[in-house]
Structure 1
Amino acid sequence: MQKKIVVITGAAGALGRVVADRALNEGATVAVIDHGRNDAPSTPQRLQIGGVDLSAAPQASKAIDDIVAQLGRIDVLINIAGAFKFETIADGNDESWETMHRLNLLTALNTSRAAIPHLVKSNAGRIVNIGALGALEAGSGMGPYAASKAGVHKLTESLAAELKGRVTVNAVLPSTIDTLANRRDMPNADFAKWVTPDELASVILFLASDAASAITGALVPVRGRV
């Protein structure tokens, strides 16, 4: 990741923080985008952009334009922004489906679309999305979330075909990620079987690296020890 300009969405979350720190440690300059306001000062290696609703295309475009104006280019986009909601179809409502679609799919779509012209100019443009193993075979209560993540899978495949030879586009498909929030929500689970943020970050940053130049359109399962 040495000397690459890496944009990470959802950087305030458990996974986003780890990916950003790992990219910095590997020599990248990082621009982090998040929905929440971020009052932390930017540094020459880390540009902080907060208060952005990436599900709104104009805000996504402005964030990308601001990054390019300050850093000069973009080499890698890592779309981590998203959310999870457990809700059965019978007891749920349309709002949950719309929210999952907006936060998981539209955030990745809008940011990717805004970044494409800049990624094409890079000698090694990369997009890495976050899908979900649960979108391959959705269980009870997973309908809205799984449908939105299945959309991310198809966005990944379609973009990879459109940008073949210019930008690689891949997705990681984690099982349950070992975060404090997931431990709190599932206290009786076997945490040792879950994939850690650091393990997932390793796969993400590999797909963003020069070593992965021949990989595009891949949906990479990251199961942990399930």
Structure 2
Amino acid sequence: MNGKVLVITGALGALGKVVAETAEARGACVAGIDHAPSQSAATTDRIELGSVDLTDAAQAKKAIDAAAAHFGRLDALINIAGGFVFETVGDGTDKSWQRMHAMNVMTALNASHAALPHLAKSGNGRIVNIGAMGALQAGAGMGPYAASKAGVHRLTEAMAAEWKGKVTVNAVLPSTIDTAANRGSMPRADFAKWVRPLELAEVILFLASDAASAVTGALIPVAGRV
């Protein structure tokens, strides 16, 4: 990661913070993009672009271009921004499906579309998306979320095919991630079986590294200890 320039969407969330901190500890420069307001001033090694709605293509492009201008180039885009809803088809509405599509598919699409020209110039451009194990076979109440993450899987494969030889595009498919929010919503679960954010960060950063130059179009399960 030494000297690499990474853009991380959802950088102020539980997973985003761990990925950013781990990358920075290994010598990377990080541009963090988030819907939440920025929490710190820009430095030579880090810039936070807050209050960005990545479901809006114009806002996504403005933020990505600002990151590229700040550092002079982009080497990797890590699409962590997204959301989750648990809702059965019978009890829900189409609004949840639209919201999940916007938060999970369109954020990744808009950020990727804006970043690809910059990444192609890198010579070692990388995109890493966040899919989901739950999108491989959806359970009750998982329809809106699983459908959107399945869309992320297909987006990953399509971009990998379209940009082969120029930019690698892969996705990690975690099971439940061990975050404070997930512990709060599932207090009786066995947390020891969940994926720790640092464990997931290790896989993400491998895919963003030079060592993963021959890996593209992969959907990599990170299933924890289930």
Q: Please give the range of the TM-score, normalised by the shorter of the 2 chains.
A: over 0.9
Matches for 1:63-212 after TM superposition, within 5 Å: 63-212=63-212
Partner SS for 2:105 = helix
- Once the two structures are superposed, residues 121-166 of structure 1 have per-residue CA deviations (whole angstroms, 9 ceiling, x without a partner) of 0021000000000000000000000000000000000000000011
- Is 1:2 the equivalent of 2:9? no
Cα RMSD of the aligned pairs, angstroms, is 0.6
In structure 2, list runs of 5 or more residues that go unmatched.
none
Letter in 2 for 1:52: V
Partner SS for 2:145 = helix
Partner SS for 1:52 = coil
Alpha-carbon distance between aligned partners in 1 of 2:18 and 2:121, rounded to the nearest angstrom: 27
Paired residues in the alignment total 226
Offset of residue 79 of structure 1:
0.1
- Once the two structures are superposed, residues 39-68 of structure 1 have per-residue CA deviations (whole angstroms, 9 ceiling, x without a partner) of 411221111100000010000010011111
Letter in 2 for 1:54: L
Alpha-carbon distance between aligned partners in 2 of 1:70 and 1:22, rounded to the nearest angstrom: 21
Partner SS for 1:127 = strand
Question: What stretches of structure 1 move > 4 A for 4+ residues in a row?
Answer: none
Alpha-carbon distance between aligned partners in 1 of 2:120 and 2:35, rounded to the nearest angstrom: 26
Q: Percent identity?
A: 68
Alpha-carbon distance between aligned partners in 2 of 1:63 and 1:110, rounded to the nearest angstrom: 11
Alpha-carbon distance between aligned partners in 2 of 1:54 and 1:71, rounded to the nearest angstrom: 20
Alpha-carbon distance between aligned partners in 2 of 1:91 and 1:22, rounded to the nearest angstrom: 41
Letter in 2 for 1:68: A
Alpha-carbon distance between aligned partners in 2 of 1:152 and 1:3, rounded to the nearest angstrom: 28
Alpha-carbon distance between aligned partners in 2 of 1:37 and 1:212, rounded to the nearest angstrom: 33
Alpha-carbon distance between aligned partners in 2 of 1:93 and 1:26, rounded to the nearest angstrom: 44
More deviation, 65-74/126-135: 65-74
In structure 1, list runs of 5 or more residues that go unmatched.
none
Letter in 1 for 2:89: I
